[in-house]
Every structure is written in structure tokens, then in C-alpha cells.
Amino acid sequence: METLLVITTLPDAASARALAARLIEQRLAACVNILPPWHSIYRWKGKVEEGDETPLFIKTGADRYAALEAAIRAGHPYELPEIVAVGIGKGLPAYLDWVARETAAE
């Protein structure tokens, strides 16, 4: 099974923790890393905006991506959340097997 690293950002640590907990509880992610806040500068609706955000690194199986994306969108406060998935081509086989087991649909 292909393993993915999915990245999203939230406006604060509390909303990041809440989303991470839901993803783990629903077995949509094996692990979610909540990173320290970072400062983002971006163009939105024709204006340059900036603000602090809390990033999440989410490890999941490719077969769970659609459900994971839906859960992020349902629980995300942004009108257009960043959701970027990157395939993990190589990794410690035992770790990748663990991700597959933890995200297996029940």
C-alpha cells in the first residue's frame, strides 16, 4: 500500500490538536505531527495576506486519502484549506507497515 504525507495548516494550536485527535480516532491517520506555528504570506482574493498558522504533518495510507480529505474539509475553519498530499516513495518498511495497519478501514 502507498503511504502519504498530507500537510495542512490551521489558525492555532487548539484547532490543530482537535483536528489531529479526530483524524486519529477515525483511523484516518496513523500519526499527526503538530509543528510549531509558522508565519505564512500568501495572496488571497487579490490581496497579499499574512498570519501565523499551525502546520500538521499527517501520515496515512493512499486508500484513506478521500475520507481524510473529507474529514479535514469538514473540520477546517478556512474557506479554502491547504491540503497537500505527497507520496512517500521510501521509508523504514516496519514504519510504513505500521501506518498501513493503523489506517486500515475497520
What's the chain's average pLDDT?
Answer: 96
pLDDT band at residue 7 under the 50/70/90 scheme: very high
User: Could you list the residue range(s) of the whole structural domain that residue 51 is in?
Assistant: 3-102
99 has a pLDDT exceeding 90: yes
66 has a pLDDT exceeding 80: yes
- Domain CATH number, residue 89: 3.30.70.120
pLDDT band at residue 105 under the 50/70/90 scheme: confident
- The Cα–Cα gap between 106 and 99 comes to 14
pTM for the whole thing?
0.94
When divided into structural domains, the chain yields a total of 1
Q: What is residue 75's predicted lDDT score, i.e. its pLDDT?
A: 85
Name the more confident of 75 and 82.
Answer: 82
